[in-house]
Amino acid sequence: MQTEKLEKIVKLVVEELGKYKGEEIKQSKDICSLNTKPNTSKQTDEVATSVVQLYGKSNEQDVAEINPNQYSTIIPLYPEKQEKQDIIEANEEEEFLHHSSDRLTEEPGEYLKYTPARVAVGRAGSRPRTSTLLKFRFDHAVAVDAVYGEVSQTLLDRLNLFTVYTKVEEKEVYIRRPDLGRRLSEESKQILKKKCEYAPIVQIIASNGLSASAINENLEDVYLSLQQSLKNLNIQVGTPFYVHEGRVGLMDDIGEVLEPEVVINLIGERPGLVSAESMSAYLCYKPRHGTIESDRMVISNIHQGGIPPIEAGAYLGTVVERMLKHKASGVKLIQKEG
């Protein structure tokens, strides 16, 4: 039989079975019930008759010679797995069309009341809008600047904070080796012993952490508010200072050197794409080498778009008062308070 005729017949079979399959899907209410294959033999006979009518009597014998099952092992027209996959794809396409960008942006104000995240920004076809993409790149650049930036020396001088250093020698090492940011250099330890009051009730330190921008924007308000709060509570404060390239765990090393009752670490948070200027305040009762993370407390998200810096500083004083009362911090403090 000629190859061209065979191709036409197969095409007709596919079309007829496609119609049959479409009717089956339309009538079914449950996708999981489609576990049976269509009656391909009956459909093929009907198509073969149509082909005879199409080509005339001279082709009837050629068509009759075709065995419908002859090519089933070579060309599996409708395997069960493919049927289910087609149905799933059709449903996904329908769902995609149902949740179009226009529908998502009907009431964007409702979403934006609760988050600064990129909600209901829409799109241009399948791509982000130009304004959305540019804003994303801008926020990413701000986050990078926050990590690689430096704290203003003018700010540190205004707050009378002298600077000591960790074992980190450069920014790339600081990012790759967090452990080095948890230990003071030997020279810095000697400086602390000379300049700082030994065994104070509260020791305040500041560090750029992963966001120098957070310190530049929020440290002054938080620090001054915290000092005033502790003064009102008659809690003695040691000599504050700034640690360059410090990590949260640096509190333990400082606890070993100065042995304060409470250490407060005002440190820049890891920047996000909408909050590159967020600062955290970590507190710990008698931190020493071996202190576990559950013994620390943190007040995070301190910035103008989160917890107001002045309010955060005032609140920190009350937290310190609770820690001194129960001689504990972190989970232990919560347990003692009941």
> CATH classification of 153-337, choosing from 3.20.20.70, 1.10.260.40, 3.40.640.10, 3.40.50.11240?
3.40.50.11240
- Distance between terminal CA atoms of the chain? 89
For 314-328, write each residue's pLDDT tens digit. Answer: 999 999 999 999 999
Q: Helices 40-55 and 3-27: crossing angle, nearest 10°?
A: 130
**pLDDT range class, residue 244, cuts 50, 70, 90:** very high
Most confident of 4-8, 51-55, 173-177: 173-177
DSSP secondary structure string for all residues of 226-248 = HHHHHHHTT--B---EEEET--T
Spatial distance between the Cα atoms of 119 and 107, rounded to a whole number of angstroms: 11
Q: 183 versus 24: which is more confidently predicted?
A: 183
Spatial distance between the Cα atoms of 273 and 182, rounded to a whole number of angstroms: 26
**Pairing state between β 241-244 and 202-207:** parallel
**pLDDT range class, residue 22, cuts 50, 70, 90:** low
Nearest alpha carbon to residue 80 among 42, 143, 38: 38
pLDDT at residue 35 is higher than 50: no
Mean pLDDT over 16-30 rounds to 54
Largest Cα–Cα separation, the chain? 112
For 60-95, write each residue's pLDDT tens digit. Answer: 454 445 454 544 444 455 555 556 666 666 665 565
For 304-315, write each residue's pLDDT tens digit. Answer: 989 999 999 999
Helix, strand, coil percent content, the chain, rounded in steps of 5: 55, 10, 35
Spatial distance between the Cα atoms of 214 and 266, rounded to a whole number of angstroms: 10
Nearest alpha carbon to residue 188 among 285, 258, 286, 264: 258
For 94-106, write each residue's pLDDT tens digit. Answer: 655 555 454 554 5
Nearest alpha carbon to residue 118 among 139, 145, 103: 139
Is 319 marked within a binding site? no
Nearest alpha carbon to residue 254 among 27, 119, 246: 246
168's torsion region: left (phi>0), alpha (psi -120 to 50) or beta? beta
**pLDDT range class, residue 272, cuts 50, 70, 90:** confident
Is 248 marked within a binding site? yes
**Pairing state between β 279-285 and 262-268:** antiparallel
pLDDT the model gives residue 191: 96
Mean pLDDT, all residues of the chain: 81
Spatial distance between the Cα atoms of 171 and 211, rounded to a whole number of angstroms: 12
Q: Kindly state the percentage of the chain with pLDDT values over 70.
A: 67
pLDDT at residue 235 is higher than 70: yes
Spatial distance between the Cα atoms of 207 and 151, rounded to a whole number of angstroms: 9
Whether this model's pTM surpasses 0.75: no
